[in-house]
Chain A
Amino acid sequence: MNTKDIYEMRTVVAAVFLGIFSIFVLKALTSFEIIPGVSYVYNLQGPSIAPNMITVILFDWRGYDTLGEAFILITAVFTTGILFGRGVLGGDVKVGDTAATRQPSVVQKVFAAPLVFIIVAFGIVITLGGHITPGGGFQGGSVIATAFFLSVVVFGLRKNVFSLSHRSLETFEGVGALIYLCLGLAGLGLSGYYLYNVGADFYPGLGVAQWAVNLLSYPDATNAGIIPYLNIGIALKVLSGFCTIITVLMGAEKK
C-alpha cells in the first residue's frame, strides 16, 4: 500500500466517522428539549446545591468548563513554546542572557517593586473570594501573573523582583493540576461523580463518609466545599502557564 492509498483510506475513514457524528448531532438536535431560559434552571435548582448562584454558575455546573479552559491554556503554552521557545527551551539562548532591552527609568524602578506585592495580594484575594464573588482561580491567577509581567517588562528576565525559575513554574503547574485532578477523583471515588462537591455534600444520599466531608469543608461560614480549593489549584496553574508564556516570549525577543 503506497502513500496515495493511505491518504485515500484515511479520507474514507474520516468521511464515515463524520457521517456517524452527523447522525448523532441531528438526532440530538431534533429531540433536544429546550427549557425556556437558562435562569429558570438556575433559579429552580441553584440554591439547593450551592451557597449562591455565582457558585452554581461557576463550578457546580461549569466545573468541566473550567477544566476545558485549563486545557486551552496548556495548548496555548505548548504553542507559544513551539513557536517562540526555541531560544530559551532549545538551549540556544540562556535565560541569563535575556536582560532588559533598556534600563528602567526612576519611576519604573521606584514603583514596580511595591506594585508587585500589591498586585499579588489582590490576586490572592480574588482567588480566595471566587466562590462568593465574581472572581476565581483563573482571574486570580491572571492577576498574580500580571505582577510577574510587570516585573519582567521593567527589569528583564535576568534580574527581576519575582525570581521564578522554570523549575518553580513546573512545580506550581504540577501542584495546581494535581489539586484539580485529586479533588475530581475524590468526588468520583466517594460519590461516583467526577468533581462532586464532597466538602459541601449537597446530596447526602450518595453515602459520602462524614470524615471526607469534614476534611474538605472550607473554613468559612458559607462552606462552599471543594470549590475554593479548586480555585486555588486553577490559580496556580494559570499563574504558571502565563509566566511560562512571558518567559518564552521574552527569551524569543532577544533571539
Chain B
Amino acid sequence: MNPFGVLVIGAVIGAVLGLSVTSEFFNRKTYVTILGVAVLIDVLMGSYPFYTWDLSVELPVSGVYLAALIGMLAGKAAGGR
C-alpha cells in the first residue's frame, strides 16, 4: 500500500500552518530558493521517515518533506496574510 494518505496529511498540516504566514517577507526569488533547497533536503534525507512505496523502482525520496512544504506554500497562497 502506498502512503498517499501520509502525503495528504502532511500537506494539510502544512497548509494550516501556511495560513499564518505573512507575505511581506517573500518574493519570487524566495519561493524558488525554498523549493530548490526543499528538493535538495528531501533527496539528502533519502527515504526518511521510512514510508514504503509499492513501486517497481526504489524512490530516493519519501516525499513527505516536499508534500509538507508544498502544503505550506499552498496554504500561504490561499489565505496567507
A contacts, CB < 8 Å to B: 109, 112-114, 116-118, 120-122, 124-129, 132-133, 135, 144, 155, 159-164, 168, 218-222, 228, 232
Contacts and interface: CB of A to CB of B under 8 A. Distances in A.
B78 interface: no
Given A220-B1, A221-B52, A118 B68 contact: no
Contact of A125 (B10, B33, B34): B10
B15 to A, nearest CB: 11
B62 to A, nearest CB: 8
Nearest to B27: A113
- A interface SS class: helix
Contacts of B45: 125
Interface of B: 1, 3-6, 8-10, 13-14, 17, 20-22, 24-26, 30, 33-34, 37-38, 41, 45, 48-52, 54, 62, 64-66, 68-69, 72-73, 81
A126 B13 CA distance: 13
A72 to B, nearest CB: 24
B34 A232 contact: no
Contact of A124 (B1, B13, B20, B62): B13
Closest 8 CB pairs of A and B: A129-B49, A219-B5, A124-B68, A113-B25, A121-B69, A121-B68, A133-B49, A221-B1
Contacts of B17: 120, 124, 144
Nearest to B8: A219
